[in-house]
Structure 1
Amino acid sequence: MTIILSIDDILFELFPKAKGASEKLEALKEELVNYYSYSVYKPQVTFEGQTIIINIPTQVIAQEKQAYDKIVSLASKGKFQEAKQALNVLIKQNPTNSEYYRIYGQILSEEGDQEGAINYLIDALRWDPKNGYALIMMGNVYARYQGDIETAMKYYDQAVKLDPSNYIAINNIGANFLQKGQLAEGLKYLERAYQINPSYANTTYGLALAAERQGDLEKAFSMSIQTLKSTTFKDPIYLNAMPLALQAAQNLIRLNRGKNIFDLYRSKLEKAGGKDIDVVADPNIPTAAKLEIAENYNREVHVIRYKPTYSAVEHLMMHELVHLDFIIQAREEGINKLFVSTQEQKAAFITDIYDTIKKLKKQGYEENSISNFSTGLFDGLNRQIYNTPIDLFIEYYLYDKYSDLRPYQFLSIYALIKEGQMAVTDKRAIELSPRKVLSDSKVYNVINALQLKDLY
């Protein structure tokens, strides 16, 4: 690639460092070389009168970048042998590129060869002492695998000195202080890293751990949740953050704030709807909780039933209260609807699953058992069809309106999703259930799981 520039006032506006220099052209040439350099490749800059000609070896750069990107992809997939072979070729072609040694050292560290990693990282820093990633990687090797915190800190400090906004190095310094038991000093660096990049999972996880040690339950919960949001379930840090979030939530619900939240909301709805609301622990209901509207049962009171064996039942009860709240609001506007299923719909459903019924008969199941099984499938799927859409609105409402309820909500939805997952992956359920019903149920469970992921 060739770039041709005219030496004029506009050029010095574009490259102002040379503007006030005594040797303007030499300073301009240096600035142009620095600007148009890529990795170790520097452009050829020549002056012809009032014209500057810049030649950049773009073809070589593109070829080498393509090879390097392939190496990074191979390494990220764990194909270390292929990546090292390709790196050897690149290093032979261009032995002055610091990054090639850095990524080679990182691969060796991943393979468990820490001494080899150090040697390659030293080469990386010999070619470019300002390679921040190599400095951090050296610190990581010494801290995590050599147990040499003092040496690790030298590399981390140098990375921060070169780039005060290097949140990875700042985070690692904080993590090492935590490891040494210096909580206050570690927090200082972690908070600094968080200010630079609040989405870096290692930092939020470190802050969650520190908060747990300090007994700050709210911060331990919120930071562990933030860590989950910044990672995927396959990441090791996610696997560490999830039990921390669950434990922090358990500790918070022991404070029993949920009862007061529920009592206040219940009183508000009793006043708005003009009827009392009874709460009954009932281990025999088919779902975790259910709302029985007074008019539908010819009663004077509404009833919320819940299974007492479930986690964070205050969330289940609050969820049913929101159902009632929406009903009361709809009644006031004259738009409330009662959803029912008919015998005709049930008969059509039975027809659709007739192949399953035949299979059960063939296996020797009694007519009564088959009838109960079919009715259970029909009722269960209807509950999912009716509840899933409105439940999404309810959970967002609870999340936005009642922040102190979030630990309850997190534990409760997590447990319900686990239960649903077991129901559709159970070997016996898969053998007995109609494929279409099982598939539909999985879809509804996935919707709930996606909402949990969105919220937490």
Structure 2
Amino acid sequence: MKIKIDLSVLTEILNLKNKQEEDVITELKKIYKDFEFNLIDGVAEIDIDDINLMPDQVHNNLVGLCEKGSLNKALQKAQSLLTKYPHSSELNRILAQIYFQTGDIVQAENFLISALKLNPKNTYALILMGNLQHERSELESALSYWNTALKYDPDDYLSLSNIASLLAQQNHLDEAKSFFEESIKVNSKFPNALYGLALVYYNQGEMDFAFDKVVTALKCSKPKEEVYENAKQLAIEISKELTKNNLPEVESDIHQQKDDLIKKSKKKIKIELSNTIDTLAKLEVAEYKNKDYHRLLYKKKDLTVPHLMLHELYHLEFIIEARKIQNNFLFTSNQSHLDKFFKELSNFRAGLSKKGIPSENIKKLITSLFNGLNSQVFNTPIDLFIEQNIYKNHPKARPVQLLSLYKIISDGVKATTDKEVVNIMPKSIVSKSKILNLVHALWYKKFYGIDLVPEFKSNKIERNQAENLYHEYLEYSKDKEPSEEYELLKHWAEDLDLDGLFELKKENTNKSKTAEDVIDEVNSDPYGVESEEPDYIVEERRKFIESHGSDEINTAVVMYMVGALDFFNSRSKEDIKKIAFEFATLGMTGIDPSKGNYEVPSINKKMSGYQALAYYYVSWALGIPEMLSDLGMPFQEEYELAKKAL
């Protein structure tokens, strides 16, 4: 082919610009002595057939080696090809690229000069030469090569992005922004330009635009790539800034969501600061706490709390929606589920016992695993729907959502990959927990581009199962109906063979007790047996409990415990112990606070759910105190208050 190029441009490309014109021509004739070279009216004409010098398949194989990172193999292959295709501009350019990537700048420049001699319009060689000059901090020279590449290919997004980066480094931010935008117009998925534009917006204080572009850059890049790592760090920094800036809007969203839920549930919602909860935010559903209002508790010590508060409110919304169609479910587990779990881990328990670990510690560990898995099974599918709602309905909360989920998923990585944890825990339990964490990570990758999946170090089976669960979620998410989260929950539990850990019971909202119902019941029969004490004593006790207990105290349970303490007062420890085991047997089938008609042989009396739980706890506290913690019943505060009220 005949290449036509202005003499001045050719002189600059081949770095002959400091010579006189006749010397330049003499030098060019030496360079092109093996080719037909003419100079007509200041235009150099070079007849070089570069089209068929290296077959496409040979070229593609060589490029494939480079893309795989097999640079040593690629270098050997390219060097062997050079004797066969010495006049290939592209082969020389590839050799230059390999040397540049391996840090041999001198050799890279030599081969680039050869590539540009053979084809001065080789835009890839021009870009690489610009990159090389930029590496040497020769900024003007770099800009010259990139501009030349643009002359031959105005849609060269690489050169556009490189020029923008150079302008940004020189603090010409508006000009840099224009070039980055032009690059993105040509290739909307070029991560370098997207990241560069995000950085410009960040430096100009335009945080919303910066956030949008950096997330897109993350979605278009891959872990371990330099641009991905840079974009991830920038995304976190931008999110921190925006979380602070957007706090008023996010707080407004929280209160708007609260107001909407008040209308839907026809109950008040109290938002209260609490330092006693074990999480950063916690929802208390009115009916489950026997109160006439819902409570959203939160700790104010973490930047991500607003996201978690929104998240908890959406849990309530899902419950309300399911109740509208009378299809809400209660996630319950009892002693029989725990016993089954213990049985399944009998070998694990035996192994720990052989290592000299006390049986009490083993029980606590396995109970903790049981509770943790149950929490994951219940929350993971529901949480995905909730996070999608937050993402869709609360754009100002996206930066805090990015930060919050990054922390949550990173904690999941640590919990399932930490060597100390992995070495001691049952492999099947760690694997199932990892799969559920992976599903969350897949959602996060899709919406925010941060890919934490590789950090779980999962095997192929775990990844495939997580992807299958995630794709099932995606199908449900297209047109999710109220209560369908429970359907998905059941499917996932069955797929992971975790459905034996719990039971989903349909909630009977018509029979749910209000706080007033519970107090009335307590006033009519506070002890759970026929009481002969005057009403004024019962009323005084109730007032004492309400004045000395916190809002988190279950008044009904305390009143029933007072009755239980009085009931057991005249009985021997052996009798109490016997009754304690009778309650344990009753508890194996589950005790539902909202139901009644519970009884044990030694107490010939029908009891409500809370009444049975209160007697259950007190019997163990008095008869078998050394095993009380094994019950896992959260009534210690109620018990202490009941002893004072007696």
* Counterpart selection for 2:238 from 231, 242, 248: 248
The answer on 1:384 being equivalent to 2:376 is yes
Shift of the 108–168 alpha-carbon distance from structure 1 to 2, 3 Å rule, reads same
1:94 counterpart SS class: coil
Q: Which residue of 1 aligns with 2:220?
A: 230
Tell me the equivalent position of 1:132. 123
Deviation at 1:310, TM superposition (A): 4.3
2:63 aligned residue: 72
What are the ranges of 5 or more consecutive residues in structure 2 without an aligned counterpart?
A: 1-48, 449-646
Distance between the aligned counterparts of 1:310 and 1:366, measured in 2? Answer: 37
2:614 is matched with none
Counterpart Cα distance in 2 of 1:214 and 1:346: 57
- Cα distance in 2 for partners of 1:109, 1:432 equals 47
The AA in structure 2 aligned to 1:294 is: A
Q: More relative contact order in 1 or in 2 (CA 8 Å, sep 6+)?
A: 2
Larger Rg: 2
Q: Distance in 1 between matches of 2:307 and 2:274?
A: 16
Give the one of 357, 361, 374 matched to 1:369: 361
For residues 14-48 of structure 1, give each alpha carbon's deviation from its aligned partner in whole angstroms, at most 9, with x where no partner exists. Answer: xxxxxxxxxxxxxxxxxxxxxxxx96229xxxxxx
- How do residues 146-165 of structure 1 correspond to structure 2 at under 5 angstroms? 146-165=136-155
* Map of 1:398 onto structure 2: 390
- Supply the distance in 1 between the matched residues of 2:233 and 2:70 (Cα, whole angstroms): 30
Distance in 2 (CA, whole Å) between partners of 1:292 and 1:373 is: 27
Q: How many residues align?
A: 398
Match of 2:404 in 1: 412
Give the Cα–Cα distance (whole angstroms) in 2 for the partners of residues 148 and 185 of structure 1.
20
Give me the whole-angstrom Cα distance separating, in 2, the residues matched to 1:105 and 1:427.
Answer: 43
Tell me by how many angstroms 1:353 deviates.
Answer: 1.2
State the alpha-carbon separation in 2 of the partners of residues 284 and 128 from structure 1: 73
- The match for 2:168 is 178
Look up the match of 2:100.
Answer: 109
Q: Distance in 1 between matches of 2:282 and 2:186?
A: 46
Question: 1:313 Cα shift?
Answer: 0.8
1:350 aligns with 2:342: yes
Asked whether the equivalents of residues 258 and 408 of structure 1 are also in contact (C-alpha less than 8 Å), the reply is: no
3-state SS in 2 of match to 1:279: strand
Is the CA contact 1:205–1:227 (under 8 Å) kept in the aligned structure 2?
yes
Counterpart of 1:339 in 2: which secondary structure? strand
- How far the C-alpha of 1:378 sits from its partner, in A, is 0.7
The answer as to whether partners of 1:399 and 1:405 remain within 8 angstroms in 2 is yes
Give the AA of the match of 1:153: L
Q: Deviations over 1:161-195 (max 9, x none)?
A: 11111111111111111111211211121121122
SS in structure 1 at match of 2:330: coil
Q: What residue is the counterpart of 2:187 in the other structure? A: 197
- Aligned equivalent of 2:80: 89
- Give the conservation status (yes or no) of the 8 Å contact 1:40–1:96: no
Query: Take 1:275 and 1:139, find their aligned partners in 2: how far apart are those partners?
Result: 67
The structure-2 alpha-carbon separation of the partners of 1:307 and 1:359, relative to structure 1 and needing over 3 Å to count, comes to farther
What is the CA distance between 1:206 and its match in structure 2?
0.7
1:167 to 154, 157, 171: 157
CA spacing shift, 1:357–1:282, aligned 2, 3 Å? farther
- In structure 2, distance between residues paired with 1:131 and 1:211: 33
Q: Deviations over 1:40-82 (max 9, x none)?
A: 229xxxxxxxxxxxxxxxxxx7xx4333333223223333232
Q: Quick one: distance in 2 between partners of 1:343 and 1:410? A: 38
Secondary structure, aligned partner of 1:382: helix
| Corresponding position: 1:338 with 2:330 | yes
432-441 or 298-307, which moves further after superposition? 298-307
Q: Does 1:446 align with 2:438?
A: yes
Task: Give the C-alpha shift of residue 157 in structure 1.
Answer: 0.8
Task: Give secondary structure in 1 for the equivalent of 2:333.
Answer: coil
Rounded to whole Å, the distance in 1 between the matches of 2:345 and 2:266 is 44
Cα distance, 1:367 vs. partner?
Answer: 3.1
Structure 1 vs Structure 2: percent identity of aligned residues? 36
1:248-279 per-residue CA deviation (whole Å, 9 max, x = no partner) reads 00001112132121111111111211122233
- Work out whether residues 416 and 430 of structure 2, in 8 Å CA contact, stay in contact via their aligned partners in 1: yes
1:240 is aligned with what amino acid? Answer: N
Equivalent residue number for residue 5 of structure 1: none
- Displacement of 1:287: 4.9
1:219-298 to 2 correspondence within 5 Å? 219-255=209-245, 256=247, 257-282=249-274, 285=277, 287-298=279-290
Mapped to 2, the partners of 1:438 and 1:311 lie a distance apart of 29
For residues 410-437 of structure 1, give each alpha carbon's deviation from its aligned partner in whole angstroms, at most 9, with x where no partner exists: 0000000111111112233223321111
Q: CA deviation at 1:376?
A: 1.2
CA contact (8 A) 1:167 1:196 kept: yes
Deviates most, 361-370 or 282-291: 282-291
Alignment check: 8 A CA contact 1:224 1:245 kept: yes
Q: Deviation at 1:155?
A: 1.1
Aligned residue for 1:204, secondary structure, equals helix
Residues 297 and 287 of structure 1: CA distance in aligned 2, closer, same or farther (over 3 Å)? same
Residue correspondence of structure 1 range 209-224 to structure 2 within 5 A = 209-224=199-214
CA contact 2:243–2:303 (8 Å) conserved in 1: no
State how far apart, in whole Å, the 2-side matches of 1:426 and 1:309 are.
26
Decide whether the 8 Å contact of 2:217 with 2:231 is kept in 1: yes
Is 1:326 the counterpart of 2:326? The answer is no
CA distance in 2 between counterparts of 1:311 and 1:360 reads 39
Q: Secondary structure at the match of 1:335?
A: coil
1:41 alignment counterpart = 52
C-alpha contact (below 8 Å) 1:221/1:248 kept by paired residues = yes
**Considering only aligned residues, what root-mean-square deviation do their CA atoms show, in Å?**
1.9
Aligned counterparts of 2:271 and 2:288: Cα–Cα separation in 1: 17
